[in-house]
Amino acid sequence: MSEKELKQKYDALVKRVPGERMYDGRDKGVDVYICKKCGAVVYTRYKDKGVTPFTIACRNKDCKEVMMHEKTISEMDAMLNKVTVQNWVRPTFEWLNKQRKKGREGLIEHVLNGGLILENEL
């Protein structure tokens, strides 16, 4: 896909998302991902409206398994437990275009279908 074509698709996505019929997890709590192999835990929340994966790669560099979305807790519980919460965000066009140059078609398709990326991965 060319940069121009990607820009057109990205702009169309940004324009349609507010009215799109999809789950909107903003203000719905904190999602908890847990690795069943090593026990690593990641807490996430929706900063933008969009789609998030049910599984993510384990953040323990020695594990290499997947973490599954196990439950959702309240923002208050996250605050009381003093956990670090990562935000799911819509990446910028510039970031997405860099991924195009790296040949990451699956990731681009995810974003163009409303998918979000963890903010610390941008």
Domain residue spans in the chain? 3-121
Local structure of 42: helix, strand or coil:
strand
What's the pLDDT score for residue 70? 94
Q: Does 23 score more than 90 pLDDT? A: no
> 45 falls in which pLDDT band (50, 70, 90)?
very high
What's the pLDDT score for residue 7? 97
Q: Does 2 score more than 90 pLDDT? A: yes
Q: Does 41 score more than 90 pLDDT? A: yes
The pairing of beta strand 41-46 with beta strand 117-118 = unpaired
CA neighbor of 115 nearest in space, from 54, 67, 64 = 54
What's the whole-model pTM score? 0.89
**Mean pLDDT throughout 85-101?**
96
